[in-house]
């Protein structure tokens, strides 16, 4: 019977076909690196470092995109006292940005804007730092985020086995709107956040990835041929 021989040939064909298909597959991969910061001097320029993309591998294909971005939170305390005789509404608005430069030509700017608090305070009671005419706000937060895709002409600036520097500068101002007179102070400014880079690229299998499968296919072909005589007849066990 030739069933065994046919099965062997079919399995060999499948193994070789699978090996060939694996050798041609291109895989898309995404890698993200992050770098946090936490500073008590957010308006001053400071540096953090992000990982470069190591392209020095035989299975590396091509870079599809590089994205650089940030998430930033500026935090401060605020002390406020109404010094006018009547009750008044006070509103604090924040504006500014967290600015990050990178090796590419475009900076990443996370915009901060919006109402930070709104409160009614009673008319002045003549006592400083207490009473219904006074308020102290802890940990007021202003949040900003943004990201940019890097122009492909500058991709090589992000390649290597080391890191690249990102310069961070975060300036968020606050404006108080009030009907009456007041005293106010902003305290304990700080900024925390995360900068990130996202690499999207392709990978191709190493040449050795499909050799085992190809070996299986060739082995099955050899076995099938060994089972047949030179004149094409199937070889069986010798008669007793």
Most confident residue range from 98-107, 186-195, 225-234:
186-195
Rounded CA separation 23/210 (Å): 6
pLDDT at 153: 87
Tokens standing for 136? 């102290």
Check: CB of residue 168 under 8 Å from CB of residue 195.
Answer: yes
**2-50 pLDDT, tens digit each:** 445 554 455 445 454 554 555 558 899 999 999 999 999 887 788 999 9
Rounded CA separation 5/65 (Å): 50
Cβ-in-10-Å burial (0-12, 13-18, 19+) of 77 comes to middle
pLDDT over threshold 60, residue 74 = yes
pLDDT over threshold 50, residue 221 = no
pLDDT over threshold 60, residue 126 = yes
**139-188 pLDDT, tens digit each:** 999 999 999 999 888 898 899 999 999 999 888 999 999 988 999 999 99
Check: CB of residue 201 under 8 Å from CB of residue 59.
Answer: no
Average pLDDT over residues 90-106: 85
pLDDT at 215: 47
pLDDT at 101: 84
**180-211 pLDDT, tens digit each:** 899 999 999 999 999 999 999 999 876 554 44
Name, in order, each residue with C-beta under 8 angstroms of 88's C-beta and a sequence gap of 6 or more: 82, 120, 121, 123, 178, 179, 180, 182
pLDDT at 180: 84
Name the residue among 200, 160, 202 with its Cα closest to residue 53: 160
pLDDT over threshold 80, residue 217 = no
Average pLDDT over residues 54-74: 93
Helix (H), strand (E), coil (C) string for the chain? CCHHHHHHHHHHHHHHHHHHHHHHCCEEEEEEEEEEEEECCCCCCEEEEEECECCCCCCEEEEEEEEEEEEEEEEEEEEEEECCCCCEEEEEEEEEEEEEECCCCCCEEEEEEEEEEEEEECCCCCCCCCCCCEEEEEEEEEEEEEEEECCHHHHHHHECCCEEEEEEEEEEEEEEEECCCEEEEEEEEEEEEEEEEEEEEEECCCHHHHHHHHHHHHHHHHHHHHCECCCCCECCCCCC
Task: Count Cβ atoms below 10 Å from residue 171 Cβ, excluding itself.
Answer: 15
Name the residue among 199, 213, 224 with its Cα closest to residue 65: 199
Average pLDDT over residues 66-75: 94
Tokens standing for 207? 């040449």
Strand partners, 168: 46, 100
Rounded CA separation 82/89 (Å): 9
pLDDT at 231: 52
pLDDT over threshold 70, residue 81 = yes
Check: CB of residue 208 under 8 Å from CB of residue 110.
Answer: no
Rounded CA separation 220/15 (Å): 9
């Amino acid at each position: 019977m030739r069933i065994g021989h046919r099965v062997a040939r079919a399995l060999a064909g499948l193994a070789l076909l699978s090996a060939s298909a694996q050798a041609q597959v291109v895989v898309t991969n995404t890698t993200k690196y992050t770098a946090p910061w936490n500073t008590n001097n957010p308006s001053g320029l400071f540096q953090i470092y992000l990982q470069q993309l190591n392209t020095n591998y035989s299975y590396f294909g091509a870079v599809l995109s590089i994205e650089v971005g940030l998430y930033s939170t500026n935090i401060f305390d605020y002390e406020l006292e109404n010094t006018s005789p009547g009750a008044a509404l006070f509103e604090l608005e924040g504006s500014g940005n967290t600015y990050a430069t990178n090796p590419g030509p475009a900076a990443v700017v996370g915009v901060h804007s919006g109402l930070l608090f709104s409160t009614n305070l009673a008319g002045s009671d003549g006592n400083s730092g207490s009473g219904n005419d006074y308020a102290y706000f802890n940990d007021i937060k202003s949040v900003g985020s943004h990201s940019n895709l890097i122009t492909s002409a500058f991709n090589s600036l992000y390649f290597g086995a080391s890191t690249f520097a990102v310069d961070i500068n975060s300036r968020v101002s606050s404006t108080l709107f009030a009907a009456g007179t007041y005293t106010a102070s902003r305290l304990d400014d700080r900024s925390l956040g995360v900068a990130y880079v996202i690499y999207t690229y392709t990978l191709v299998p190493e040449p050795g990835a499909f050799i085992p499968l190809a070996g299986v296919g060739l082995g099955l072909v050899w076995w099938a041929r060994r089972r047949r005589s030179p004149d094409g007849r199937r070889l069986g066990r010798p008669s007793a």
